[in-house]
Amino acid sequence: MTFEHVFADLGGIPANRLTDPQGLAGLLLAAANAAGLNPANPPVVTLGPRGVSAALVCHGGHVAMHGLPEAGLCFADLAGVSGALPQRGLEVIIKRLGAREVRTDARRRGPVTQAIHPEGP
């Protein structure tokens, strides 16, 4: 079994889109739906002195965002087990936040075939 994992650095986002807790909760749900993920719990959105954190734990995956409204920056992270399409969820986030700058990456996660021992054998 593998996980599909996508993540993005987003910039140029209007601050008001990163300071609306209800809007961000709705965005997490929309992204999960687009990715084919089923929420396990309601979204959690926290605004604080170090920005905004938003997360939605799903059965077999997650949608998470961390943002700095005053800088117009956001990091988005989506993952799902095989069959999920997290890239579609990421596209929803990018579009709805109105990000003008986007850097994305994707990884397939799965079983570790060779153990790595950073402190020796």
54-90 pLDDT, tens digit each: 999 999 999 999 999 999 999 999 999 988 899 999 9
**Selection from 7, 115, 114 nearest residue 62 by Cα:** 7
Does pLDDT of 17 surpass 60?
Answer: yes
* Domains defined along the chain, listed by start: 3-97 (3.60.90.10)
H runs (alpha helix) in 1-121: 21-35, 86-97
Does pLDDT of 2 surpass 70?
Answer: yes
CA dist., res. 84 & res. 65, Å (int):
18
CA dist., res. 107 & res. 79, Å (int):
9
Q: Is 63 helix (H, G, I), strand (E, B) or coil?
A: strand
Q: What is the pTM of this model?
A: 0.88
